[in-house]
């Protein structure tokens, strides 16, 4: 059952249209990603879902109590430097009627309760902001660019935290720029470009939409025209000594049957990645 339904959402700030027309629905218990380039309208969309902004047109339905059951972590977490992790969590917990065990949350997020906010690293601040979003025991957690600016280890620690949230059955709406994050965490993802949804699919489905194509690249002195007749092959191009064969299915075996690998040099294979799919779906330019 859908816990979040966004239907033809439009949001303008005066003359500036931030979200043109966005529709998607999120099932209970899934991690749903929203990706798009800078300024695509991602934050505005999730702020409308969180009830922090009022849509100009369209509707947002959240099947949960917004104040009690939706936890929000927005792009920057700022607290007074002197407040300690434990104090911040206790303060936020006091806002809710059924708060989570905030000490356990701090342990899970790898945070020291006595550490002052001003002394936390970027990764620790992000994990604190996630813990603060979870302190009310929400059914839905909205996380906006939670790993931007983090080093690879801090990013992985934050991903682990998100994986544990999902294991508890919390529905997660995740805004991100990182395709690796999408691949690791998201069940489905909406690709937004210029305020419109370009695709909603699983990460694998997005790759398939972008062609799901393989490329074989190698050097050979032999003729390669015969490869074009193979059903697996979509195109064959030669640029100087380098040959590129694109296609689908068991492309490598099909090509090897016609052109033995011993007649090629430097053979390598590339597949469409989620990054490629993102570029195809969002086009080359973004306002």
Ligand X SMILES: Nc1ncnc2c1ncn2[C@@H]1O[C@H](COP(=O)(O)OP(=O)(O)OP(=O)(O)O)[C@@H](O)[C@H]1O
Question: Does 125 contact ligand X by CB under 6 A?
Answer: no
Q: Choose the binding region for ligand X from 13-21, 76-84, 116-124, 259-267 (rule: CB under 6 A).
A: 13-21
Question: Does 55 contact ligand X by CB under 6 A?
Answer: no
Structural tokens at position 74: 């927005």
The count of other CB atoms within 10 Å of the CB of residue 146 is 24
Question: Does 283 contact ligand X by CB under 6 A?
Answer: no
Question: Does 43 contact ligand X by CB under 6 A?
Answer: yes
Q: Choose the binding region for ligand X from 35-43, 118-126, 212-220, 269-277 (rule: CB under 6 A).
A: 35-43
Instruction: Give dist(CA 102, CA 92) in Å, integer.
Output: 9
Question: Does 36 contact ligand X by CB under 6 A?
Answer: yes
Question: Does 198 contact ligand X by CB under 6 A?
Answer: no
Question: Does 13 contact ligand X by CB under 6 A?
Answer: yes
Question: Does 40 contact ligand X by CB under 6 A?
Answer: yes
Q: Choose the binding region for ligand X from 11-19, 57-65, 85-93, 200-208 (rule: CB under 6 A).
A: 11-19
Size of residue set near ligand X by CB under 6 A: 11
Query: CB under 8 Å to 143, separation ≥6 — which residues?
Result: 73, 130, 133, 162, 172, 173, 174, 175
Instruction: Give dist(CA 162, CA 88) in Å, integer.
Output: 20
Q: Choose the binding region for ligand X from 10-18, 225-233, 239-247, 262-270 (rule: CB under 6 A).
A: 10-18
Question: Does 18 contact ligand X by CB under 6 A?
Answer: yes
Question: Does 54 contact ligand X by CB under 6 A?
Answer: no
Question: Does 153 contact ligand X by CB under 6 A?
Answer: no
Task: Between 43 and 171, name the residue whose CB sits nearer to ligand X.
Answer: 43
Structural tokens at position 146: 């939670």
Q: Starting from the edge strand earliest in sequence, which strands make up the sheet with 264-271, in order? A: 233-239, 242-247, 214-220, 264-271
Residues that bind ligand X (CB under 6 A): 13, 16, 18, 36, 38-44
């Amino acid at each position: 059952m859908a816990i979040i339904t966004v239907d033809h959402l439009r949001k303008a700030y005066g003359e500036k249209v931030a979200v043109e027309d966005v529709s998607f629905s999120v099932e209970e218990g899934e991690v749903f990603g929203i990706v798009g380039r800078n300024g695509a309208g991602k934050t505005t969309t999730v702020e409308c879902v969180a009830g922090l902004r009022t849509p100009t047109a369209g509707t947002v339905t959240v099947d949960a109590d917004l104040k009690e059951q939706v936890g929000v972590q927005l792009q920057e977490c700022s607290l007074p430097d002197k407040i300690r992790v434990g104090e911040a969590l206790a303060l936020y917990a006091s806002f809710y009627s059924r708060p989570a065990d905030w000490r356990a949350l701090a342990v899970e997020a790898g945070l020291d309760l006595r550490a002052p906010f001003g002394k936390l690293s970027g990764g620790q601040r992000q994990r604190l902001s996630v813990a603060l979003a979870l302190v009310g025991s929400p059914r839905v957690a909205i996380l906006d660019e939670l790993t931007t600016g983090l080093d690879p280890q801090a990013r992985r620690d934050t991903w682990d935290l998100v994986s544990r949230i999902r294991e508890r059955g919390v529905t997660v709406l995740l805004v991100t720029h990182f395709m690796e994050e999408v691949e690791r965490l998201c069940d489905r993802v909406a690709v937004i470009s210029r305020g419109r949804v370009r695709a909603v699919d699983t990460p694998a489905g997005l790759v398939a939409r972008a062609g799901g194509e393989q490329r074989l690249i190698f050097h050979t002195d032999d003729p390669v025209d015969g490869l074009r007749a193979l059903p697996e092959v979509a195109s064959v191009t030669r640029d100087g000594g380098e040959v590129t064969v694109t296609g689908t299915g068991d492309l490598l075996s099909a090509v090897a049957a016609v052109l033995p690998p011993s007649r090629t040099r430097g053979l390598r294979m590339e597949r469409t990645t989620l990054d490629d799919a993102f570029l195809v779906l969002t086009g080359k330019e973004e306002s």
